[in-house]
Structure 1
Amino acid sequence: MTAIYEVRGSVAVITLSNPPVNGLAYETRKAAAAAIEQAENDAAVKALLITGAGKAFSGGADIKEFGSPLALAEPNLLSLIALVEACSKPVVAAIHSVCMGGGLELALGCHYRVVAPGSKIALPEVKLGLLPGAGGTQRLPRALGVEPALNMIVSGEPVNAEVLAQVPGQKLFDRVLTGDLLAEALAFAEAVADKRPLPRVRDLKAQHAKPEAFFQFARNSVGAMSKNFPAPLRCLEAVAAAVNMRFDEGIRNEREGFAALMVTPESKALRHAFFAERAASKIADVPDSTPLRPIAKVAVIGAGTMGGGIAMNFLNAGLPVTLLETQQAALDRGVATISKNYEAQVKKGKLKEDKYQQRMALLSTTLAYAEIADADLVIEAVFEEMAVKEAVFKQLDAVMKPGAILASNTSTLDLNKIAGFTRRPQDVVGLHFFSPANVMRLLEVVRGAATAKDVLATVMALAKKIRKTAVVSGVCDGFIGNRMIEQYSRQAGFLLDEGCSPAQVDRAAEKFGFAMGPFRMGDLAGNDIGWAIRKRRYQEKPGLRYSKSADLLCELGRFGQKTGAGWYDYAPGKRDAIPSELVAKMLDQHRAALGITPRQIGDEEIVHRLVFSLVNEAAHLLEEGIAQRASDVDMVYLSGYGFPLWRGGPMCYADTLGLFNVQQAMKRFARNPLDDGEFWQPAPLLARLVAEGKSFT
């Protein structure tokens, strides 16, 4: 049963039971409705109590049904809430742990609400590009007050029940319970069993002293913060309707808003990202029941920027970390940088002093490999050169205890070759963190040919513990993210050859929604990194074409922000990108040497060449089995490369445009003699999907 019915004394207890968060799926709604009717028809029952099994009251809609006909099948959530509200006997919601979305809307439909301390309360629909669709925008302002309700609905963030219980005049909670939830809730239900009339949130007034001025101010501030996302403003207007309309009119207005948002590309993209993040944690041939290796101690090889950032992730999660370096001075610098990063968080109020001290106490250092022998996981973050990796892994193989996981932070090198430097390739895995490693959410988990399934399961679980979005990649040059970004960068170079300036390309990409255009990104990361990769490519793939403009830039020593000059000029101590006359002259001379007459290129062509290069290369990755699913590619780009969230990732964006249209654009690009026509031949997977009328996602 997904809703358990039992009678305790004169109270019918209905327990929602749909793990893990008691989602309000069709079967759960149906069982709850039947239980309410059973209680109504039982003369011995004087009151009803609704609660949730396990670790939640209810997390809201069941994500397995989201967007499907079952989500609206009767009794839908609106019908269930109406049944609760119309019950002739008092219905008490006994809230604990998690009460969000439809779960909170159901509770608001009850006549009374009691809550356990520490319960997380939220209407998070806005994070999926939606608004609460079962009365949340109408009842919460009536129960909590207009301003705090608007803040909750527009942000979607959870709030502790105790905080909400302190809101002046609130009628959201009738009591905050301090003892045994069920016992105290039953006592409360018995105490109110004979009280009439039954209180209904819908009968309360949603009032504000100066509604017109307040909502106009809110429109200005919400509009400024929610550019490219239509849901927050639509949520605001729904809350305004709670003040300005009768309840039933407000509910109709809410449903219209919900339906309108459901079909927006932004909501579709956000919902795609929501499901993509959950799908990324699943590996087809690694069952959820796979036993995990215990990880109690971590070691990091290399105390530079990357190594220090990686170490902070584990310190933040309460795991002891040993940093290993070859020189004491390098260790001292690394520890000082970690300490400085934490001190900055303390000054900003983001970290308490005692937490800072606890984390630093978990950090130890060493110059000897023998002193990390008992670590359960060791991650190398040394120079990106195979000979250096070889030396490190041979030493690790010699000293690490059996069963220890040996991880490489390589961003491009062959993990199978690295694993071959050991006698335990089954224990070797790639953990590609993105810089700054203590900030960036993405973690590419690289699966070698011999990587054991329990190693994969362990690092995927560990990624959640350190709050990373982990995506599995097979072994290839650059894995998923960097292999794709190379094609993106190649297109950016060809656009310069044909007449664009770096600023024009960056503006078009940033207007599309990228956090940073390709040339600003290059200056931030260091143009010398790409230069080193191209030098390797010239040897390995002499037929692969690149614009030579980036090489010319590096020959001038313009490596980016770290040298104060790259594609842009930078004032000392500042990061503002200033268009460079020297670079403009260099590009003019380069075009002249190639005999190219510059042409005007529009933003649409710039964006589509950049984005479709990602799409086509990703289609090859999927065909080769390097990426498990198209949504994994989207998660890589949403969480690690600044792709705009409201577009859902490159594969989702291509689907939105229509793959037929994407393929036609690629064919046009292939006819450009200054581009790489061979690259623009649609990948076999893309061509097949177009032929079958299908999409990536």
Structure 2
Amino acid sequence: MTQDTSPVSTRREGAVAVLTLNSGPVNALGAALREGIRGAVAAASDDPSVRAIVLIGGGRMFSAGADIAEFGRPQSGISLPDLLNRIEATGKPVVAAIHGNALGGGLETALACHYRVAVPSAKVGLPEVKLGILPGAGGTQRLPRVVGPRKALEVIVGGSPIGAEAAAAMGLVDELAPEEGLLAHAVAFAERVVAEGRPLTRIRDRDDRIAEGRDDPGLFEAFRQENARKTRGFEAPEACIASVEAACRLPFEQGLAFEREQFLKLVSGTQSAAQRHVFFAERQTAKIPDVPEDTPARPVRRVGVIGAGTMGGGIAMNFLNAGIPVTIVEMKREALERGLRTIRTNYENTARKGRLRPEDVETRMGLLTDTLELEALAECDLVIEAVYEDMAIKKEIFSRLDRIAKPGAILASNTSYLDIDAIAGMTSRPGDVIGMHFFSPANVMRLLEVVRGAKTGKDVIATAMQTGRKVGKIAVLVGVCHGFVGNRMLAQRQREANRLILEGVTPWDVDRVIHEFGLPMGPFTMSDLAGLDIGWSPESNRSESVRDLLCEQDRRGQKTSAGFYDYDAKRRATPSRVTEEIIARVAERQGVARRPASDQEILERCLYPMINEGAKILEEGKAIRASDIDIVWINGYGWPVYRGGPMFWADTIGLPKVLERLRAYQAEYGDDFEPAALLERLAGEGKGFKDL
């Protein structure tokens, strides 16, 4: 018997035609599958012996939605909106049978059917906003007619999938089916619809749920206000809101036309291109040219963490959340107990917000063993050192770990700047040593820089990358250099920000420009939040820099209610005259001529050197791909997703323009702005980082 390889297979269950989508692995609605559905639905409609149709996904899901690879290409075959209009216009009941996922165009397809049944484990959603677009095949018009505008806004603008039970509660799913009997249930449901003579339920004809949007036009403005912080800078959320609003005030066909207009504008825009770039770039990070995907990983059944401070505690939580036992070590009982209290408090706060069950708090804490003895790590499969950023201390710890840890254990450092090879050199097994740089707060931030040493084993790299994904991180492999990828580039921005304030630009203007660009905070707000005294001490103080003088006056950031800014009891910042006077004093002492600078100059001088440093990182092979650098900055530093990361953003500006501005600043400020050879080459060839 030959296997059916057609995109849609058809079989009969009595008078019910069962159409199965066969476009694995996720039944993406590419041109071939759309044409297959069109033909199968038309054939079933024309067959007088067919009384009803069931549409079901083959494999592990109904459909994950559109084929993103088709975006930007010429249309081939029937468009998804036209296909869904034909399904909805079918004169026989069409039942969508949903398992796995029905996302994006997959859910829009289900909405075009007359009825929907789903297994409880199924998830449905419209995540298009995360790709910088909106549901462009009627999703913004049909969903509000089923669940009401408020719920529709939450689903469409939020972009996160919801479970089938929640979907049934809001009327999106008509019936829940047994997990193991979806098809039989869907067929029986279709037969019942026919036997009872139920009228075809076309969502386009429904008017009852959207009355809420007409009667309360303030609903939309209230939603905008509630979500302003989350949607800041993004174009797609507003287009989504406007389209749902159109569903409430316009006839269906006009609403569809409005949605389509918004979709076409977004899909051809830079933001959507950036967000699609990020979507694919995240998946690329797992691909390492010389470490095949089938490289055997070492088992990680128990993890040791050295240090119970902010970083160590946060790192431990990642593994506890994944059900992996952790042994945490501190030097002093007081520091250990403080760390344990912080971990428990974090979990209890999460439980109070309803995101964790109280019993889960105890389960996770039960996986944690605390000790003052480094020797307790002898049976751990992975040990992560997370102590103070001091090379001498780290070397001593790794020298001791070399004697304590069992053969085959992976020894990792959470260092954010230091030389992994120098640390590995303190052991007799440098092949087992790797950097695992978590970002603070480590239990929240998604990024993990995995730092490959000169002698790190390939199986160790594979294990670190897989372990990162297992604990919910986006792991990016980087090479050994000061600051690796993220902090090495950050240093370029910090240098220019500090130079700008001496030249006459206020810290708050620098912060404003960076914040308006889309980053969560500017460099001086960030410094105040982290603490100006990190790496500073009265003993080593030379009273030279603005930071030195601020710390001397106990202006050490938010924790002392004063840093670059003044802070009130609620930590609200206001510009500080004291800071302005200190900056002016340092500028005068250094003989810096002061002048105003435009917002464009501030932006270019802070961010273009980062692009240049990224080019040097690529030249040196410290990052595998330009897109890996983008993922580091998006997930570790809050670079706005809608700008695609610093290297993608550079391509949108045009590398010749970036090069021209760097050369101009080099002529004025010196070789800190000297262009990277790679940047010069790509600009000269008319290429971008995307072409590497």
TM over 0.5: yes
Residue in 2 that maps onto 1:541: none
Residue in 2 that maps onto 1:222: 224
- The answer to whether the aligner puts 1:585 opposite 2:589 as a matched pair is no
- The answer to whether the aligner puts 1:136 opposite 2:139 as a matched pair is yes
Query: What is the RMSD of the two structures over their aligned residues, measured on CA atoms?
Result: 2.6
Distance 2:545 2:667 in 1: 21
Residue in 1 that maps onto 2:316: 311
Distance 2:460 2:262 in 1: 46
- The answer to whether the aligner puts 1:382 opposite 2:359 as a matched pair is no
Distance 2:203 2:352 in 1: 43
Q: Deviations over 1:211-268 (max 9, x none)?
A: 3452333134315623322222222222233233332222222111100112333323
Contact 1:206–1:242 (CA under 8 A) maintained in structure 2? no
Distance 2:546 2:454 in 1: 37
TM-score, normalised by the number of residues in structure 1: 0.91
Structure 2 portions without partners, runs of 5+: none
Distance 1:338 1:73 in 2: 54
Distance 2:108 2:99 in 1: 15
- The answer to whether the aligner puts 1:251 opposite 2:247 as a matched pair is no
Distance 1:339 1:124 in 2: 34
* Of 658-667 and 409-418, the range deviating more from structure 2: 658-667
**Percent same amino acid at aligned positions?**
50
- Map 1:92-111 onto structure 2 (within 5 A): 92-111=95-114
TM-score, normalised by the number of residues in structure 2: 0.92
Aligned pair partner of 1:117 in 108, 120, 126 = 120
Distance 2:567 2:353 in 1: 27
Q: 1:129, CA displacement in angstroms?
A: 2.0
Distance 2:559 2:362 in 1: 31
Aligned pair partner of 1:201 in 195, 198, 203 = 203
Distance 1:93 1:508 in 2: 49
Distance 1:85 1:146 in 2: 21
Q: 1:604, CA displacement in angstroms?
A: 1.6
Residue in 1 that maps onto 2:175: 175
Distance 2:35 2:445 in 1: 43
Distance 2:117 2:526 in 1: 51
Opposite residue 190 of structure 1, the aligned amino acid is: E
- The answer to whether the aligner puts 1:371 opposite 2:376 as a matched pair is yes
Aligned pair partner of 2:672 in 673, 676, 679 = 679
Opposite residue 153 of structure 2, the aligned amino acid is: L
**Structure-2 change in CA distance of 1:46 and 1:649 (3 Å):** same
Residue in 2 that maps onto 1:696: 689
- The answer to whether the aligner puts 1:443 opposite 2:445 as a matched pair is no
Q: 1:600, CA displacement in angstroms?
A: 1.0
Residue in 1 that maps onto 2:85: 82
Contact 1:206–1:243 (CA under 8 A) maintained in structure 2? no
Contact 1:219–1:236 (CA under 8 A) maintained in structure 2? no
Opposite residue 634 of structure 1, the aligned amino acid is: D
- The answer to whether the aligner puts 1:332 opposite 2:337 as a matched pair is yes
Q: 1:434, CA displacement in angstroms?
A: 1.2
* Of 185-194 and 329-338, the range deviating more from structure 2: 185-194
**Structure-2 change in CA distance of 1:312 and 1:596 (3 Å):** same
Distance 1:521 1:261 in 2: 32
Distance 1:380 1:126 in 2: 39
Opposite residue 178 of structure 1, the aligned amino acid is: P
Q: 1:118, CA displacement in angstroms?
A: 3.0
Opposite residue 169 of structure 2, the aligned amino acid is: Q
- The answer to whether the aligner puts 1:632 opposite 2:628 as a matched pair is yes
Q: 1:6, CA displacement in angstroms?
A: 4.2
Q: Deviations over 1:528-573 (max 9, x none)?
A: 43659xx99x9xxxxxxxx9434444555544334544323445x6
Opposite residue 326 of structure 1, the aligned amino acid is: M
- The answer to whether the aligner puts 1:185 opposite 2:190 as a matched pair is no
Residue in 2 that maps onto 1:9: 13
Residue in 1 that maps onto 2:565: 568
Aligned residues: 678
Aligned pair partner of 1:428 in 433, 436, 459 = 433
Distance 1:450 1:19 in 2: 40
Q: 1:608, CA displacement in angstroms?
A: 1.4
Please state whether the residue corresponding to 1:221 is helix, strand or coil.
helix
Opposite residue 428 of structure 1, the aligned amino acid is: V
Distance 1:34 1:425 in 2: 61
**Structure-2 change in CA distance of 1:240 and 1:528 (3 Å):** closer
Contact 1:7–1:45 (CA under 8 A) maintained in structure 2? no
Aligned pair partner of 1:31 in 6, 11, 36 = 36
Opposite residue 187 of structure 2, the aligned amino acid is: L
* Of 497-506 and 223-232, the range deviating more from structure 2: 223-232
Aligned pair partner of 1:73 in 52, 56, 76 = 76
Distance 1:238 1:275 in 2: 27
Distance 1:574 1:449 in 2: 48
**Structure-2 change in CA distance of 1:530 and 1:212 (3 Å):** farther
**Structure-2 change in CA distance of 1:112 and 1:670 (3 Å):** same
Please state whether the residue corresponding to 1:121 is helix, strand or coil.
strand
Distance 1:133 1:430 in 2: 44
Contact 1:612–1:662 (CA under 8 A) maintained in structure 2? yes
Residue in 2 that maps onto 1:603: 599
Q: 1:490, CA displacement in angstroms?
A: 0.7
* Of 624-633 and 551-560, the range deviating more from structure 2: 551-560
**Structure-2 change in CA distance of 1:482 and 1:150 (3 Å):** closer
Distance 1:401 1:395 in 2: 12
Distance 1:620 1:50 in 2: 53
Q: 1:45, CA displacement in angstroms?
A: 4.3
Q: Deviations over 1:481-509 (max 9, x none)?
A: 11111111110111122112222222222
Q: 1:614, CA displacement in angstroms?
A: 1.0
**Structure-2 change in CA distance of 1:564 and 1:151 (3 Å):** closer
Distance 1:371 1:49 in 2: 59
Distance 1:29 1:289 in 2: 34
Contact 1:146–1:206 (CA under 8 A) maintained in structure 2? no
Q: Deviations over 1:34-54 (max 9, x none)?
A: 433454565654433221233
Structure 1 portions without partners, runs of 5+: 539-546
Q: Deviations over 1:558-601 (max 9, x none)?
A: 44334544323445x65333433333222222222222331011
Residue in 2 that maps onto 1:263: 268
Distance 2:349 2:200 in 1: 53
Q: Deviations over 1:300-334 (max 9, x none)?
A: 01111111111111111221111012222222221
Q: 1:199, CA displacement in angstroms?
A: 3.4
Q: 1:603, CA displacement in angstroms?
A: 1.6
* Of 27-36 and 686-695, the range deviating more from structure 2: 27-36
Opposite residue 337 of structure 1, the aligned amino acid is: T
Q: 1:385, CA displacement in angstroms?
A: 1.7
Q: 1:467, CA displacement in angstroms?
A: 1.6
Q: 1:369, CA displacement in angstroms?
A: 2.9
**Structure-2 change in CA distance of 1:395 and 1:53 (3 Å):** farther
Distance 1:124 1:145 in 2: 18
Please state whether the residue corresponding to 1:290 is helix, strand or coil.
coil
Contact 1:443–1:469 (CA under 8 A) maintained in structure 2? yes
